[in-house]
Structure 1
Amino acid sequence: MIRVFLIAGEASGDKLGAALMAGLKSLTEVEFFGVGGPLMEAEGLQSRFPMDELSVMGIAEILPKYRHLMRRINETAEAVVQINPDVLITIDSPDFCLRVARRVKAKSQIRTVHYVAPTVWAWRSGRAAKMAKVIDHVLALFPFEPPYMEAAGMECDFVGHPVVAERIATQTEADAFRALHGIGDKPLLMVLPGSRQGEVSRLTPIFGRAVQAVLTARPDLRLVIPTTANVTELVQEQVKDWPVKPLILSPINQNKDAYLSEKAACFAAADVALAASGTVSLELAASDTPMVIAYDMSWLSRQIISRMLKVDTVTLVNLVSETRTVPEFIGKHCQPDAIAQAVLAVLSDPEQQQAAMQLTMARLGKGGEAPGLRAARAVLRGMQQG
């Protein structure tokens, strides 16, 4: 029986960890230790402390909890060394996970695996070399990432992106969504201004002005905004003066599975999406929904990131498909009129992105072995070779 210590610090990591655990259990006898959320606990992990303690972002949020987080880092590293597992698998959350790995490596020869490669292809390429000092093996979500990790001295396997395992709504479900909300055959624009309060506050007014310009040309347009619980009230406040009242989908006071099904149906029903930059572009590609991507940040962040950025597009569909089919408006280019023209162009020719979206899904592993099982195979193979 192998002994595996896992650490996940946020919901996305919990999901990756649970799929990896299920994959390991299907391939070998295994005992789990570590820190994770409800999905990992359902697969047999008894978390050493609530994963939510690690789900903090930004300096303002981290500073008040700094001492507590450092204490958790130290006690987690001590637990790893004491248990002496066959492998330590850290999942995303690099600020916490890599600090634990550094302490473990200083006191032991325990094999370390990190799940989710840092985005060194986009910016801050020095992170790979720094990570290589404490990580033996990386599990990558994107097919273009292994060369960057290997160049820094780490083993790396592309194991597929979890988006390919997500449930996609059927056309019947999409039609039912349209019928339920009285949309019928009218064009439907899905607006996705983000899941963090800062980005929603910044992007929703810009998106609103873009939507107004689109409505001038297409007055029959309907609007829908899927939200997360933490931004629902903010979105409601931000859109109250929009010329057409959007349908707002929220998980508040809804069964989680019911909300996820409704959201999937919404993605499938939409004719086009206007979305903040991020992994949502992959969710849209999975549901075959053409998109326009837009994002802005504070002036200072814009200056810093624009100087550090190493790629000419931040849209993952463009990067994975090696095309520039998805229009994007980032930083100073995030202007309502330009965004509106792009949305109208996609509405008039929705097929233009189809090939790029399908190629993206194929390259991320759609139709192949589940990413969690591929990740488990990679971990076991690495242990045998290491």
Structure 2
Amino acid sequence: MRYYLIAGEASGDLHASRLMESLKKVDPIAEFRFFGGDRMKAVGGVCVRHIRDLAYMGFVPVLLHLRKIMGNMKFCKQDIVEWKPDVVILVDYAGFNLSIAKFLHAKTNIRVYYYISPKIWAWKEWRIKAIKRDVDEMFSILPFEVDFYEKRHHYPIHYVGNPTAEEVRNFRTSYNETKEAFCARHGLDGRPIIALLAGSRKQEIKDNLPAMIAAADRFADYELVLACAPSVESAYYTNFIEGTRVKTVDDETYQLLSHSTAALVTSGTATLETALLGVPQVVCYETPVPRLIRFGFNHIIKVDYISLVNLIGGREIVPELFADRFSVYNIANALYNILPGHTNRDAQLDGYKTVSDRLGDAVAPDNAAQTIYGLLWK
């Protein structure tokens, strides 16, 4: 079979590359052509556009690069038609990918599958009309999306499992380093650890890390350890931790969490990773114009929570301190309530079991690949 994949961001490149590997297991003669990144290139096939030429986030960057974006879209449509794939697999990246899906539905007979749904359940729910019209099959990695699509919008989808859950399971099976060895390796003194996960983008770090440090520093019996993202140079972190008692760990977030007593975490996949590794957490996310953001969350955004833990659990398992609730005092207070000896800690850990159960133990890319290959033969 011939598979044309479109991923426009680093996370999409990772998920698409794993899907490609799984497709090769069920279809040894699979041919790939794609918009993607280095991980997809490593699997094989022809990369016709790299994600570094695609990933523009925010209104102003998109506006500044609009001509290039439109050129890439025109080229993509033409390239798909000329290559004649058996299926086009879209990976997240909604603005670009839904335009491609619309074109393919209107102008060709090529099947369109979507792997990792765009987050239309949070906002832009009106996009469901385009998805129902233009996307032949949807493959989801979040269990609550099944009810959203099937019950709310009468559009059947495939929940294939969650890649993060699988990654954490694999890590926990193979990791056996003691806390003593971990601390010795990183120059830590062996006290209980509060982990700081401030995000992978510089703006997130700038917005969140100072308040995280100020809140955690109130707990003198704990060592404060920052998980540094590989995409951010160490010198940038120095601006925030110089003169503090914060230590750092580079690109070892799972290892750090395995030995942590609690964590302060920005919203995103890190909240789910922290939960699956069994570490009580406080979700912290500073926003501009906090009162306006709170109004938008209450009246415009279509979900009750911002963290994947709470979205999957269907209730507030972890505290979410964002917009007008984001403050050093609130963070410190919430952190105190999840330390050993406090009832909120046990309640969180119990809630994590619900999250794990709902995610299941399916291997998402393998499950998706088998389903995709089977559907293509129908």
Q: TM-score, normalised by structure 1?
A: 0.88
| Cα distance in 2 between the residues matched to 1:180 and 1:231 | 21
Conservation of the 8 A alpha-carbon contact between 2:197 and 2:263:
yes
| Cα distance in 1 between the residues matched to 2:37 and 2:120 | 27
Conservation of the 8 A alpha-carbon contact between 1:138 and 1:149:
no
| Cα distance in 2 between the residues matched to 1:208 and 1:100 | 44
| Cα distance in 1 between the residues matched to 2:58 and 2:142 | 25
| Per-residue CA distance 1:250-278 (angstroms, 9 max, x = gap) | 4xxxxxxxx4xx33211211111101111
Matched, 1:372 2:365: yes
Distance change >3 Å, CA 288–CA 110, structure 1 → 2: same
- Residue of structure 2 aligned with 1:279, choices 269, 273, 281: 269
2:223 is matched with: 222
**Counterparts in 2 of 1:117-136, with a 5 A limit?**
117-136=117-136
For structure 1, the 5+ residue unaligned runs are 251-258
One-letter code aligned to 1:331: A
One-letter code aligned to 1:106: A
| Cα distance in 2 between the residues matched to 1:199 and 1:263 | 17
Matched, 1:73 2:73: yes
2:354 is matched with: 359
Conservation of the 8 A alpha-carbon contact between 1:292 and 1:327:
yes
Conservation of the 8 A alpha-carbon contact between 2:102 and 2:130:
no
| Per-residue CA distance 1:303-341 (angstroms, 9 max, x = gap) | 434421233322211222234221221211112112111
Conservation of the 8 A alpha-carbon contact between 1:174 and 1:266:
no
- Residue of structure 2 aligned with 1:240, choices 198, 217, 242: 242
One-letter code aligned to 1:158: Y
- Residue of structure 2 aligned with 1:290, choices 252, 257, 280: 280
Conservation of the 8 A alpha-carbon contact between 1:9 and 1:55:
yes
Conservation of the 8 A alpha-carbon contact between 1:222 and 1:246:
yes
Structure 1 position 35, deviation (Å): 1.6
| Cα distance in 2 between the residues matched to 1:49 and 1:123 | 28
Structure 1 range deviating more: 191-200 or 233-242: 233-242
2:326 is matched with: 334
SS in 1 for 2:188: coil
1:39 is matched with: 39
| Cα distance in 1 between the residues matched to 2:171 and 2:22 | 22
One-letter code aligned to 1:17: A
| Cα distance in 1 between the residues matched to 2:62 and 2:235 | 24
Matched, 1:308 2:311: no
Conservation of the 8 A alpha-carbon contact between 1:325 and 1:356:
yes
| Cα distance in 1 between the residues matched to 2:267 and 2:233 | 17
Structure 1 position 281, deviation (Å): 0.9
| Cα distance in 1 between the residues matched to 2:35 and 2:155 | 24
- Residue of structure 1 aligned with 2:185, choices 180, 186, 203: 180
1:253 is matched with: none
| Cα distance in 2 between the residues matched to 1:163 and 1:290 | 18
| Cα distance in 2 between the residues matched to 1:351 and 1:359 | 13
2:161 is matched with: 160
| Cα distance in 2 between the residues matched to 1:313 and 1:65 | 32
Structure 1 position 158, deviation (Å): 0.5
Conservation of the 8 A alpha-carbon contact between 1:191 and 1:275:
yes
2:85 is matched with: 85
Structure 1 position 90, deviation (Å): 0.7
| Cα distance in 1 between the residues matched to 2:21 and 2:34 | 15
One-letter code aligned to 2:198: P
One-letter code aligned to 1:13: G
Structure 1 range deviating more: 47-56 or 225-234: 225-234
Conservation of the 8 A alpha-carbon contact between 2:144 and 2:311:
no
Structure 1 position 230, deviation (Å): 2.9
| Per-residue CA distance 1:20-52 (angstroms, 9 max, x = gap) | 112211112321112222222222221012221
What percent of counterpart residues are identical?
29
Structure 1 position 91, deviation (Å): 0.5
Conservation of the 8 A alpha-carbon contact between 1:277 and 1:293:
yes
Structure 1 position 174, deviation (Å): 4.1
SS in 1 for 2:65: helix
Distance change >3 Å, CA 240–CA 184, structure 1 → 2: closer
| Cα distance in 1 between the residues matched to 2:226 and 2:201 | 14
| Cα distance in 2 between the residues matched to 1:328 and 1:352 | 15
